[in-house]
Amino acid sequence: MPSNDPLHGIKLEQMLIQLEDKLGWDELADRIRIRCFANDPSLKSCLKFLRRTPWARNKVEILYRETFC
């Protein structure tokens, strides 16, 4: 049975890459107030933070849905 979740099959890394390509780190930092986007951001450091911080990951998923779905 197919999933109704628009994020089904999309990895956090893919979401972050697409959001950074479209919005850039500065815009991400403005929309989601977390330090890893504002202070010397890198894909690796942001992924590490988001994987262990559910509330922040949720905000990224919501922004991804609003931007691409």
Query: What is the number of other CB atoms lying within 10 angstroms of the CB of residue 9?
Result: 8
The full DSSP string for 5-52 is -TTTT--HHHHHHHHHHHHHHHHHHHHS--HHHHSS--HHHHHHHHHT
Integer Cα distance of 19 and 2 in angstroms: 25
What global pTM score does this model have? Answer: 0.90
Amino acid identity, position 21:
D
Domains of the chain: 13-68 (1.10.720.30)
Classify the phi-psi angles of 9: left when phi > 0, otherwise alpha if psi is within -120 to 50, otherwise beta: left
Q: What is the pLDDT of residues 23-53, one digit of tens each?
A: 999 999 999 999 999 999 999 999 999 999 9
Does the pLDDT value for residue 5 go beyond 70? Answer: yes
Q: What is the pLDDT of residues 52-62, one digit of tens each?
A: 999 999 999 99
